[in-house]
Chains A and B, each alone.
Chain A
Amino acid sequence: MLKLKNREALNNFRNNILSKHQEKDKKLISLCAGSGCGAYGTEKVYQTLTEELAKHNLQDEVEIKLTGCHGFCEKGPIMVIHPEGIFYPQVKETHIPNIVEKTIKNGEIDKSLAFKDHITKKKIFHEEDIPFYKLQQRIIFGNNGMIDPTSIKDYISVDGYTALDKVLFEMTPDEIIDEIRKSGLRGRGGGGFPTAVKWDSCRKHEGERYVICNADEGDPGAYMDRSLLEGNPHSILEGMLIAARAIGSNQGYIYVRHEYPLAVKNIETAINQAREIGLLGKNILHSDFDFDIHISRGGGAFVCGESTALMASLEGNPGRPRAKYVHTVEKGFRQSPSLLNNVETWTNVPVIINKGADWYSRIGTEKSKGTKIFSLVGKVVNTGLVEVPMGTSLRTIIFDIGGGIPKKKEFKAVQTGGPSGGCIPKEFLDLGVDFDELAKVGSIMGSGGMIVMDQDTCMVDVARYFLDFLKEESCGQCNPCREGIKQMLAILTDICKGNGKEGDIELLEEIGGMLQKFSLCGLGTSAPNPVLSTIRYFREEYEAHIRDKKCPAGVCKPLFHYEIDPKACKGCQACAKKCPEKAITGEKKKTHILDRQKCIKCGICYDICKFNAIIIR
């Protein structure tokens, strides 16, 4: 690829790509190759599609684009046929001949393969009409489905690097920071710290300054950063370049999880392409500005998402946090001023520069501007990544976009903010989600994980689950975190086993309060949140475990058993056939009997029964 020597060359390069796009009136098949769809078999679909097109001699007339995540991961692998925007979910190899014959050759829609709406039961043919997409505002995430993440040309063709061009030649560093300040952008990693304040204070400290991207997305249940890294890596690089120009930095680092191999690969490719074309390196576009980015892979330690731990890890040390008497903007990586922002924050930067702070700040709430990507997962019909303006209510996200709870079950709670967050019950479903609102009810928005829980989720078990997670991930440096989590976990484990006793709840609250006050870093101070928030809203469930020795949700095995409701049982034998222990017997059309001695409480019968005849006691 040719090196772009100046801004005119970049413009010409873009115009060239665009004019070629207009020339060819090709059909374009966009196939999601993100990790979610990949897990459902995109690779095989792609191979079959390539072969089938060749069979019909269509390989030159139809372009296949392997894109990043489209967000509707529940329905993967996802295929969208442009220019019409025909949407096919859950595509299998066996569907390909039909799709090529009908849709590609004859322009017809194969209705049998089309998307069926869960609520209206109607078929929907075009991507833009699907409620999951319709109610979103995808200013950050939208390009994911349109571009091939391994092609810098694709990114440039959708106005990529125009914001860089603007800051290099039309704006001073002060103006850049002012624009970010006016936009109201706050850190998307969870802290919600005003981005411009961070940039400005880093700029004021002398020394070799570093720009760092936190791509150590460790919150279980959140994966928007992964999708941006995989699906639109250049937007992250552009955001970092803009900050580097604003604060006067020449070196950047991306600290990314080793567990995200495709993200590592795509961001590596993006960096190499940007270097090759001259958008990273020395004297970028002849502006006297030098900047390069390096990748560092994490090693599966959750605590490394904390800023000081991340920087310790970058230096080749174990990722242990330190007390922040001196902030990392003054002394961070290599004891130098370091500017750390999360992946999603970086991708917001070019959008703000391009569209302007005035436009951007009209989206969202008074104190939380812009959009936020949420990972809507767990017991919800449409799982996936959802981008909505800040302030959108939980109800809209879970029920209108997410389609509600599957199998006609009851909504119980939504867990937000990962291990540092809390569980929000149904009385707060109308809360608008932003940095401040969720904090009022004992949770946080965090990095955007949203795990929906239904009646079959035990809140005590959820609290125990998070502490078990945090016990593993505590770095062990400070006593309150190391010992406090361990003791809280021991109490919760006892409660789940049926050995809970009076006073346990109060003890959990006491130890929790201690952790909040005295832990060294954010991991410890926020660790009790899942426990305290579930005690606050689901105290009766704790009491049922402790006093009645019952787990109402049927999760804690020693505290419940299954029974067959003779009134509901139709004698269909579905459960009897699937029971691995042969614990269920009964003749056809007659009420079945469950032998509690043989039952191992695996739950297969409960899941399989269509008549809700298996009940938890």
Chain B
Amino acid sequence: MGKEVIIDWQHVDTIIDKYNSNREALLMIMQDISDIYNYLPPEVIPVLVDKLGIRKSQIYSVATFYKTISLEPRGKYIINICTGTACHVRGANKILETLQESLEIEEGETTKDQLFTLEAVRCVGCCASGPVMTVNKETHGGLDRTNTLEIINEYKEQAS
């Protein structure tokens, strides 16, 4: 799937050093690496084994337990549609359907052009502004079908 990722090993080292190779910080180290590549490239795992002095199985058990870590490549823009209770009663499902139709992917999938990954999350804590979605680190509130499609188009334009 997709193109090869070239890993900046120096950057990875800096991240591990920032946490003093502390094995308790494993999750945060993986999150910081994911922030660069939008997923945790499996090539990094042997390095983590070495530097943190923990077993590979431990790394996989943490990586697969927490939702913020993905071992599969994800798109340039990660859309998190909030399906928390407040957003749910205000129609988050309709927004999710709109996104699925327009991006032609299901929840949890990435578009063929590697531009968008669509994920549903439970509550981003902007409950008064629901329905809400976040695209990477930007938050968009008060969504309906029309403005959702507009926002997606803006990101498409940004990328082209």
Contact = CB atoms under 8 A, between A and B. Distances in A.
A76 B129 contact: yes
Contact of A377 (B62, B86, B121): B86
Interface in B75-101: 80, 83-86, 88-91, 94
Given A221-B86, A317-B62, A297 B31 contact: yes
A40 B123 contact: no
B41 interface: no
Contacts of A36: 126, 128-129, 141
Interface string B123-147: 1111111101000010111100100
Contacts of B22: 316
A88 to B, nearest CB: 18
A418 B84 CA distance: 10
Highest count of chain A CB atoms <10 Å: which of B25, B128, B132, B137: B128
B125 A259 contact: yes
A226 interface: yes
Interface in A349-397: 375-379, 383-385
Interface string B52-81: 001000100110011111000000000010
A200 interface: no
A475 B65 CA distance: 8
Contact of B123 (A74, A218, A261, A315): A218
B113 interface: no
17 contacts: A35-B126, A36-B129, A74-B128, A76-B129, A220-B85, A221-B86, A223-B123, A223-B127, A259-B121, A296-B28, A297-B31, A299-B69, A300-B66, A316-B62, A317-B58, A377-B86, A449-B127
A377 B65 contact: no
B45 interface: no
Highest count of chain B CB atoms <10 Å: which of A221, A222, A602: A221
B129 A40 contact: yes
B15 interface: no
A465 B126 contact: no
Interface in B14-40: 22-28, 31
Nearest to B66: A299
A261 B89 CA distance: 25
B90 A378 contact: yes
Interface of A: 35-36, 38-40, 73-74, 76, 217-223, 226, 257-261, 296-302, 313-319, 375-379, 383-385, 415, 418, 449, 451, 453, 457, 462, 465-466, 469, 472-473, 475, 602-604
Contact of A299 (B68, B89, B124): B68
B: interface residue count bin:
35 or more
Nearest to A469: B122
Contact of A39 (B28, B65, B89, B140): B140
A603 B85 contact: no
A69 B66 CA distance: 29
Nearest to B90: A378
Contacts of A261: 137
B23 A383 contact: no
Given A40-B142, A258-B31, A377 B94 contact: no
Contacts of A457: 89
B111 to A, nearest CB: 22
Given A36-B126, A39-B132, A316-B25, A300 B85 contact: no
Contact of B126 (A39, A297, A379): A39
Nearest to A453: B89
A219 B123 contact: yes
A602 B69 CA distance: 34
Given A318-B61, A451-B85, A465-B85, A223 B125 contact: yes
Contacts of B80: 259
A299 B139 CA distance: 19
Closest 5 CB pairs of A and B: A299-B66, A73-B128, A220-B84, A39-B141, A300-B67
Contacts of A318: 61-62, 65-66
